[in-house]
Structure 1
Amino acid sequence: MTAELVRGQNHPLPEARIEIRVSAGKPIVAGATLSDEQGAVHGVEWVAHPGSPTLPGIEVSKQAAADHRLACDLDALPESVHRVSVLLALPSGVGGPVRFGAVAAPFVAVTGLDGSEVASYTITGLDAESAVVALELYRRQGAWKVRAIGQGYAGGLAELLTDQGLPQAHQLAGTINEAVAQGLARSVAAPPPRTADGDRSRQAATPVRGQDQGGTAPQGVHGQVPPQHGHPGGQTSGSAGPSGAGTTGHGAPPSGYPSGPGQADPSAVTPSAGVGGPVNYSHPGRQPAAPPPPPPTAPPAQPGQPAQPVAGDATGWSMEERLYNQVWGMFEDLARSAAAYRSAVDFAESRMEQELDKVLSDPRSRIGGQGDAAREAARAKHSQLVDRARESLDRDLAQLTAESEVVEPALPPAFARWDNPVWQGYRVPMEVPMALRLGDLHLPESAGLSIPMLVRLPLERGLWIDSGRAGSVDASIADSDERRRLAMETAVAHAARLLAVYPAGDYAVHVIDPGGSGATALAPLTSTGVLAAPPAVGAAGVNEVLAGLTQRVDLVQMAIRGGAADSLPPDLDTAEQLVIVNDFPHGFDDRAVTQLRYLADEGPAVGVHLMLVADREDASAYGPLLDPLWRSLLRLTPVPDDHLADPWVGHAWTYDPSRVPNGSQVLQHVLTQVAAARRSWNR
């Protein structure tokens, strides 16, 4: 059983070869010092750091990262070493946060080589400190133990190393910072390419290379989730993936989960199709993890039958990460199986056409029954090939459907549909999840099988809820007023889910409703009191909200660029901010439009996010002025629509929004708890 340590608590280590895993919300530096029985560090050669990552018995990361693995073989340490101190520090001079109080609390875990967790420690209570001694491994009566330390230093690495008794502390701190800066510069170009070993393999058919896969797709890496999808081949076409992120048809590869089970993000997906190889849906936003804890094992399969699916049957350090990766694997499998089926059908049709052309080009076959027999034989071969491809697809769909039936009930609230019973036992979380569900994705061949569409958190781009006429049958039937109502209800459901998955006080929602037309749809938010302020109406209300959010973006940007994040005004709300804009662009002047474009472009990087509810046709009077705004947002529809285009394998994914069941009180139940937690937090 894992020991969850608090500061000062210790726990025995059952084995000598261990790993120390560090997880933080932002890139940090990890290192270790070796000391003798009196706690003295004898020199710089007793410090493992990015510039010198390997010492006898210890190895650390070579650069700053949000996740680290430190390998430790206690038996290989010199006999004079009685203590190993694990150090964490924020990178100096790279434009990031300068104190731990401005980032999520780092989490440190000691695990065995098989991934089994021995002890863990969440380092809380840090504020102005920029370096901290996280853990200490120490020898006591021939046995090794781990102790949670959590000692922070406002003076950074130099002060920490000085406190460790190292005379060359300032010089070594400079060496470490220089090594980290060089490492960051080298790592910006692109993440390491995904190898075939990283692909999820199951009994799904390998895609047959078709005309849409001849050649190598672009390998792009973007830290921001590109805009969501429009109609395939059109100006707003995008790329699909379970993370709900896509492209705008302007050449930017998707980032997120279909492109984004990211987003953005996840929430970042970069599908690529290589010549003769499988489609690569690698996720550059997620670096390869350490060997994870062994996932749940499926019951033994009957001879000749596929293995029974198990929820969490994927790699990852936690069940949440395993489920996220499993959903992504399901999306990948469905994409590959559908690509294989379509390619096989195309091949069968091409072969039949060639054989029929050959028959018709021979005058002798036109006389007698030879021509008819040849045509019948060509059609029979075609049917045989298509039937085989369909059998393979049906087998894959059956396996994926069985897996979906196991995975859906096991999903946490952030990944679950609104009708999942997990919401009935909802409690306000203590930490932000890795992703958020915005709906479902499916293909024409997949019938009732849908894959959750997840985007990585925090959001890396705004959302556009399209209230206009989409390509689906439902949207063409609904009149304009009904479409606007559905779009606003969809926006409220997404905002409620965002509020529900963040800890109390970590997320704030503003509403701009110039004409007051969204009052009915906004009732769940206004009646429960979860909004930061009443919905803004009229020109004065619009200007006040936009001016406040624009000023917040400016202040945070200046503080970060100047390395003075701790100098922000004390009354500045540091929570993530979401502003819902209804019925855009009606009621917005040129100044307000410019502010919205600024928030869409600059806001996500500093925690301000935009959700537009708008019909693009209504904005046609603005001409190309608003095109950059649409392209910067992730397009979602309030009704099912096949606007998520996947140019890498030629799929047009149908997006189905996440709806609250009719008559359900789940939204009221969840928002009531969010409001209560917020009031308690404010006290």
Structure 2
Amino acid sequence: MTAELVRGQNHPLDRTRVEIRIAADGPVLAGVTLGDEQGRLSGAEAVAHPGAPRRAGVEVPSGPAAVQHIAVDLGALPGAVHRVSVLLALPGGPGAPRGFGAAAAPSVTVTTPDGIPLTGYTVTGLGAESALVAVELYRRQGAWRIRAVGQGYAGGLAELLRDQGLPGAAELAARIEEATGTGRAPAVAASDPSAAPDPVPAVRPEHPAPGPTAFAPETESLAGVPDAPAVGLGAPPAGARLDYRHPQRPAASTAAPVAPPAPAPPGAAGGPAAPVAGDANGWSMEERLYNQVRGMFEDLARSVAAYRSAAGFAASRLERELDEALADPRARLGGATEAARAAARDRHADLVGRARAVLDRDLAQLAAESEVVEPALPPALARWDNPVWHAYEVPRQPPMAVRLGDLHLPEAPELRIPLLVRLPLERGLWIDSGPGPYPRAGRDPEREFGRRELGSALTDAAPDEAALGRLALETAVAVAARLLAAHPPGGYAVQVLDPAGSAGPALAPLRESGALPEPPGAGARGVAAVLEALTRRVDLLQMAVRHRATEALPPELDPAEQLLIVHDFPHGFDDRALNQLRYLADEGPAVGVHLMMVADRSRAREYGPVLDPLWRALLRLTPVPDTHLADPWVGHAWTYEPPLAPRRSEVIRRVLDRVAEARRAADPQTG
């Protein structure tokens, strides 16, 4: 897992060969300095830059670019090197930004040579700095670590190198800029024209190409244009500096360049910046959206935690002040006591009101972000009512995550955060069809939502078990359809155990589309046959992976991941079947065999604590909204909503039909 650093934070490195990837909003120069224990540079040979890209153990790019890759072999560095500093600088030239603050913050990611991310750092808080030390790798007690530095220099490369103790820092900085052809024109006061730099000499070919092969028009057509070069196809003389000025554009004034304007205030009227879909770190749009949704979840958890903490403090202070006001029995009937109680209540209302105002501000920002993120989500992360499903195409590779429902908190019931689970699934799923956890009396807004949106037959009385069972099966089919749609053709397969044969109508979308090629296993014999085959599959795959002999697997073994849906548990299960089911729940996910239980735990009460490890190994989902999930940071109880399609919608059937068509096209024998 990638560790995202903040300024000043360090992180250990468990390898000596790494690659440092730099992503910026525009072209930047990348280099490396090799310092001693105090970070001092011995000379120009301790700097790897575009003019000298290779040093012992280090290789940097040879020119400016928006994406840079630096290769570092810490084991090949000289023994005197204790600090490896990664520096960035803005190239000069017309139109180039004068500081990092005028563009998006650059990001640095340290990866393995084969591209696996180890740690990352986004350099924020920059302004007029045109050069900076982004990160440094340093040696401590024989082990290498990485530190997020983010130290900027308004004086450019010269000031940066001078700060690291390099003799002749200005000369080396000038050579670096000259080597890349991006020299930065120094700022010159307009009142001192004598200090203006000499104009860059135009490069004129000694033998211009004749006639129509020349890029520029005849020299006479440039009359009156000062310093206009005659440009041809000839190569410039060796060592000459290129002139990037347009031949028909007037020469720029030698007056001092105007400083870039201050960044525009974010948002309208000084408000927060307008949210943008994909505004997060990541190598792909899908990963950025995933990280953005995760950030929204964490932001909502923190905002609500702050509000609850403030409200709790206000309540405790109110109680304490009321106790103090009533502590003296002689003053209970006086006007001073009533005034003290009124003042305490006013202070309580003021504190709670201010906390609520801050929460409302955060909720408004998150709601605006959700409005732009939801339409941009790919199918695997989108709700069933998202228009992206109308243009659904079977993917060529599985996504990084899949949506299994929505989450919200009581303080913001209208703000839904997608519940995204990484693929491949690391644990099985349990669709709880029992009525036990749900309220049994009184009107409840969560059950109102369930009846309105999910088509539930629930009333204000006790939940109807038959309706819950039907919704649980619909939830299982919706999740299975989403998993099938998220994988390439033939990459995922579904099997069903239905010992009592009562799941037929709910399984119609899977059977009619061909996504369920085999009929559900019925009765004790069908349960035993399916579990025996999957147990053998897990054993074979484990042995093949353990001994690195996957090529020795039987040719008839289906390479697709397997999802087993178990309905009406524990009907039809004996002791052997129970042990096999627990084995699949524990060992199956590691080799692509996944379990989805549609069951009421109370029906397996006769087994006592024997099945407790099975239930704990599964992620519990509910067919109607229920508050049973807690986040690991502050322990909020989140209300979960299942990923059911809108009522009377055919989106799941259409998606399954496309999955079946793609599978038949990829393997005609399956048709």
- Name the TM tier (shorter chain): 0.5 to 0.7
Contact 1:298 1:307 in 2 (8 A): no
Measure how far apart 1:616 and its partner are: 0.5
How far residue 566 of structure 1 moved from its aligned partner, in angstroms, is 2.0
- Aligned residue number for residue 310 of structure 1: 276
- Report deviation, 1:198: 10
Matched, 1:653 2:650: no
Partner of 1:626: 611
Do structure 1's residue 466 and structure 2's residue 432 form an aligned pair? yes
1:681 to partner: Cα distance: 1.8
Q: Choose the corresponding residue for 2:372, options 406, 411, 415.
A: 406
Asked whether the 8 Å contact 1:341–1:389 carries over to 2, the reply is yes
Residue aligning to 2:290 = 324
Give the Å deviation of 1:572: 1.1
Superposition deviation, residue 646 in structure 1: 3.5
Q: 1:588, CA displacement in angstroms?
A: 1.1
Structure 1 unaligned blocks of 5 or more: 1-20, 22-48, 60-71, 85-109, 118-178, 201-296
Q: Which letter does structure 2 place at the counterpart of 1:390?
A: R
**2:545 corresponds to:** 560
TM-score scaled by length of structure 2: 0.60
The 5-angstrom pairing of residues 356-505 of structure 1 reads 356-469=322-435, 470-472=437-439, 473=444, 474=447, 477-505=462-490
Structure 1 position 325, deviation (Å) = 0.7
- Of the three residues 562, 572, 575, the one matched with 1:577 is 562
Deviation at 1:659, TM superposition (A): 1.0
Measured after TM superposition, the shift of residue 354 of structure 1 is 1.0
Q: Aligned pair in 2 of structure 1 residues 657, 115: CA closer, same or farther (>3 Å)?
A: farther
Q: State the alpha-carbon separation in 2 of the partners of residues 523 and 646 from structure 1.
A: 36
Contact 1:57/1:75 (<8 A) preserved: no
Aligned counterpart, 1:351: 317
**SS at 2:312's partner residue?**
helix
Q: In the alignment, residue 672 of structure 1 is paired with which amino acid?
A: D
1:547-588 per-position Cα deviation (integer Å, ceiling 9, x unaligned): 111000000111111222221112111211100001111111
Contact 1:546/1:592, CA 8 A, preserved across alignment: yes
2:593 matched residue in structure 1: 608
How many residues align structurally? 431
Measured in 1, the distance between the counterparts of 2:64 and 2:379 equals 30
Does the aligned pair in 2 maintain the 1:465–1:636 contact within 8 Å?
yes
Establish whether residue 638 from structure 1 lines up as the match of residue 605 from structure 2: no
In structure 2, relative to structure 1, the CA distance for the partners of 1:603 and 1:80 (3 Å cut) is: closer
1:193-231 deviations in whole A, cap 9, x for unaligned?
Answer: x99x8999xxxxxxxxxxxxxxxxxxxxxxxxxxxxxxx
Q: Cα 1:390–1:114, aligned 2, differ >3 Å: closer, same or farther? A: same
Change (3 A) 1:682 1:618: same
Compute the displacement of 1:304 (Å).
2.5
* Matched-pair contact (CA < 8 Å) for 1:298–1:309: no
Does 2:629 match 1:663? no
SS in 1 for 2:270: coil
TM-score under structure 1 length normalisation: 0.59
Q: CA deviation at 1:501?
A: 0.6
Q: CA deviation at 1:531?
A: 1.6
Distance 1:600 1:657 in 2: 22
Q: 1:111 to 1:364 in 2, by over 3 A?
A: farther
Please state whether the residue corresponding to 1:449 is helix, strand or coil.
Answer: strand
* Among candidates 486, 501, 523, match of residue 508 of structure 2: 523
Are residues 1:677 and 2:644 paired?
Answer: no
**Aligned counterpart, 1:536:** 521
Kindly state the Cα deviation for residue 111 of structure 1 after the two structures are TM-superposed. Answer: 12
Is the alpha carbon distance of 1:112 and 1:586 closer, same or farther for their aligned partners in structure 2, counting shifts above 3 Å?
Answer: farther
Pairwise CA RMSD: 3.5
Contact 1:299 1:308 in 2 (8 A): no
Q: CA–CA distance in 2 between the matches of 1:638 and 1:51?
A: 50
Deviation per CA, 1:170-200: give whole Å up to 9, x if none. Answer: xxxxxxxxx99xxx9xx9xxx98x99x8999
State how far apart, in whole Å, the 2-side matches of 1:329 and 1:611 are: 28
Q: Is the 8 A contact 2:511 2:517 kept in 1?
A: no
SS of equivalent to 1:653: strand
- Give the superposition deviation at 1:318: 0.9
CA distance in 1 between counterparts of 2:591 and 2:124 reads: 34
The 5 Å alignment of 1:26-425 reads 75-77=51-53, 114-115=66-67, 301-425=267-391
SS in structure 2 of the partner of residue 675 of structure 1: helix
Amino acid corresponding to residue 325 of structure 1 in structure 2: N
Would the aligned equivalents of 1:298 and 1:310 in 2 still touch at CA under 8 Å? no
One-letter identity of the residue aligned with 1:393 = L
Provide the C-alpha distance between the structure 1 equivalents of 2:325 and 2:291, rounded to a whole number of angstroms: 51
SS in 2 for 1:430: coil
Maintained 8 Å contact 2:50/2:63: no
- Distance across 1 between alignment mates of 2:421 and 2:124: 20
Change (3 A) 1:409 1:312: same
Change (3 A) 1:445 1:372: same
Evaluate the alpha carbon distance shift between residue 306 and residue 590 of structure 1 in structure 2; reply closer, same or farther with a 3 A threshold. same
Query: Which secondary structure does the structure 2 equivalent of 1:463 belong to?
Result: strand
Name the larger-Rg structure: 2
Q: CA deviation at 1:610?
A: 0.1
C-alpha offsets along residues 343-374 of structure 1, whole Å, 9 cap, x if unaligned?
00000011111111111113443242111111
Q: Work out whether residues 489 and 662 of structure 2, in 8 Å CA contact, stay in contact via their aligned partners in 1.
A: yes
The residue type paired with residue 512 of structure 1 is: L
**SS of structure 2 residue aligned to 1:330:** helix
The equivalent of 1:30 in structure 2 is none
Distance 2:64 2:391 in 1: 34
- Structure 1 CA distance for aligned equivalents of residues 64 and 402 of structure 2: 31
For the structure 1 residues 53 and 349, does the alpha-carbon distance in structure 2 shift closer, same or farther, using more than 3 Å as the test? closer
In the alignment, is the contact (CA less than 8 A) between 1:639 and 1:656 conserved in 2? yes
The CA distance in 1 between the partners of 2:19 and 2:509, in whole Å, is 56
Cα distance change on mapping 1:562 and 1:73 into 2, 3 Å: farther
Pair 376,485 (structure 1): closer, same or farther in 2 beyond 3 Å? same
CA distance in 2, matches of 1:334, 1:416: 20
Q: Deviations for 1:572-614, whole angstroms, at most 9, x for unmatched residues?
A: 1121110000111111111111111000000000000000000
The 3 A distance-change label for structure 1 pair 519 and 360 is same
- Is the contact between residue 266 and residue 272 of structure 2 (CA under 8 Å) also seen in structure 1? no
Which position in structure 2 is the counterpart of 1:294? none
Indicate how the Cα distance of structure 1 residues 343 and 539 shifts in structure 2: closer, same or farther if over 3 A, else same. Answer: same
Contact 1:504–1:674 (Cα < 8 Å) also in 2: yes
Against the structure 1 CA distance between its residues 112 and 441, is the aligned structure 2 distance closer, same or farther, given a 3 Å change threshold? farther
Identical residues among aligned pairs (%): 62
Q: CA deviation at 1:645?
A: 2.5
Question: Partner of 1:361: helix, strand, or coil?
Answer: coil
Shift in CA distance, 612/378, structure 1 to aligned 2, threshold 3 Å: same
CA distance in 1, matches of 2:63, 2:577: 53
Equivalent residue letter for 2:619 = L
CA distance in 2, matches of 1:590, 1:199: 60
Q: Please say if residues 471 and 642 of structure 1, whose CA atoms lie closer than 8 Å, have aligned partners that are also in contact.
A: no
Could you say if the C-alpha distance between residues 321 and 534 of structure 1 is closer, same or farther in structure 2, counting changes exceeding 3 Å?
same
Residues in 2 aligned to 1:588 and 1:643: alpha-carbon distance in whole angstroms: 28
